[in-house]
Structures are given as C-alpha cells and as structure tokens.
Amino acid sequence: MAQKKLPLEGVKVVEMGTVVAAPTTARVLCAYGAEVIKVETLDGDVMRLAGTHEFTPYEDDLNPLFTIHNSNKKFLSLNFKTPEGKKILMDLLKDADVFITNVREKSLLRNGLDYETLKAWNPGLIYAHFLGYGDKGPVASNPGFDISAFWLRSGPIADWQTQDSFPFLPTYAFGDMATSSSFLAGILMALYAKKETGLGTKVNTSLFASGIWCNAIGVVQTQFDRKDLNPDPLISTASSPRKSWARAAAWARPTTAAGSACTATNMLRTRRSWPSSTALRRSSTTPAAPPSRPCRRPVSSWMSSSAATRSFGPGPPWSGGTTSAPIMSPAR
C-alpha cells in the first residue's frame, strides 16, 4: 500500500522564531509535511530553558516544553549578524516558500531581513511576521508577551474576575497558542494564493489583535450601554441543573484564605453536598452574599508582604507536609 502523502510535502519553511507562538505555527506546518528549518542564535531559543521556571525537565534529550513547539524540525544555530552567518541564512531563504519570524521590525530592517529586501531576493517568499501589538500604531515596536499583550490589553484579566478579587494567572503561553492558530490560517491562505499566482506575500498578526478577536463579543458589548461586562463571572442567569452545578463548583475552587488553610477535601465532596442553585442565585435588586467560601481572601491579604512564603494547605502525600511557594512583594 502506498504511503499517504501529507498536504504540505515539498513546502520549505525557514523559521527564525523564539518562545511559543511563531515556533508553534511552524511546528504545525511541519506536522503536515513541510520541511521546517529552525534558525537559532548561538545561545539557542530561550524556550529550551523554560523548564527552569515551569518546573519541567529541560535536558537536551528530555525537554517536553520545547518539544511541544518544535518537534520534527531541523535545527541550525548561527549568528546572522556576521557576514558568514548572513550568507548562510540568505542561501536558505533563496528557495524557501515561507519565512516565519517574531524578531521586531527595527532589528529586521537593520540586518537586511525586512519584507521588501527579502521580496526582491525571493519574489515567491511568504513573509510571516509575528508581533506583540501589530505593525502600526504608537506601540508597534514594543515587545509583546502573552500575559500583557493578549490577556491584559484586551480585557479578560479584568472581565473574568469578581470585584475586589485578586488577578488570576493563566496557563503559561495560553494566548500564544491561541494566536498561533490564526497565524497558521494566514500562512495557509498565502500558500494557496501562491499556488495560483506563483507570488509570495506578507502575513502578519499579533497577540493584541488575537486577544481583541477572542474577546470580540465583550468588546462590542461595552461600546453601548453595558459598562460592566461581567460583574460576577461565577454567576449567570442560567437555571438549568447542569449550569447550576458548574456555578457551585466554581464557588468552591481551592485558593488560600488569610488565617485558614484550604484542604484537598474541598474538591472531594459529593455532588449533593454542594450549595443549591437557589443559594447561588442573586437578586437583580439586592445582591446576596455568596455561600461560605473559606478559601477566598481579599486583595489586601494577597498583597501582604509580611511573610516570605505563603501556605497553600496540605500537600500531596509525597510532599512531606504543607505545600508552600515564595511570594513577591509589590514595588514600593
């Protein structure tokens, strides 16, 4: 039986990306048959060391976080700021179909790797540029990170929290992963157009643009009479048992309260022991207090810098006792 041909076989991609979004886009192209050559600096992509702060292995032969975004690629380390390194990179780009990078515009211009220069070098090249805030506007040249450009600037950090609550911390690179899908779609459309015309084009997107797109309904709602998008995201007007159960579960999520520890048994109750949906439903005229939530604490407690560590309650059996983590004091 003949081996099945992948749809992107024969497509050559040169990636000069770091961390998550741009490399993930290239990784998906690779999964569907494209040849992806990842060009790194002499020190390597910083994502190779992400395990140091995400508490996962980061050895050369066991680096799961780096592997998620870079599996099956070919790797090349060079200094493209030297004549020798620049020649190697330009030779790779001469017959490439796609160039993916998240290097900022000024650096690309300075090193002769901007769109106009590479377009003249290879008219069929699809130039895919990933940015934090887009290529126009007052913050176009700013570096962009998942937590700032995707989450904070587009609103969800504020919209998805109750009043006087403390900010939640999304999973590392959640916004990068979502944005990489939009970036991938643009590149695939450009490849389709190239098949028809033989010409390349420029494709770009940003974390900020993706954050606004993902939060688009909320953004539109607040342009009219509604000024508080989600005054309490844990309570809705839904009355179905399934949604009431989801709301009840949300109330009891295990976080730490000042003066009391949160135990694992909070999440081991039977369904019947959760508060009823009636207790959770709020009146439109007189907001009722939520059911007892011993694991919630006010912002003032969260911001306290009186202790070097804060307890998170009994740890798992193998931890030997209470789980704790260092905290950072706010700048004074």
Q: Which long-range contacts (CB under 8 A, 24 or more apart) does 119-122 make?
A: 119/200, 119/202, 121/90, 121/93, 121/94, 122/93, 122/94, 122/95, 122/96, 122/200
Contact 17, 130 (CB under 8 A): yes
Q: Based on C-alpha coordinates, what's the Rg of the chain?
A: 25
> Where are any strands of DSSP class E within 274-332?
309-314, 322-326
Give the strand pairing for 126-131 and 202-206: parallel
Which is catalytic among the residues 176, 225, 228, 232? 176
Contact 262, 312 (CB under 8 A): yes
Ramachandran quadrant class, 129 (left: phi over 0; alpha: psi -120 to 50; beta: rest) = beta
CA separation (Å) from 207 to 49, 111, 159, 210, 295?
22, 24, 18, 5, 33
Which residues on neighbouring strands pair with residue 310, listed in sequence order?
Answer: 325
146 part of the active site:
no
Angstrom distance (rounded) from CA 135 to CA 128: 12
Q: Which residues are catalytic?
A: 176
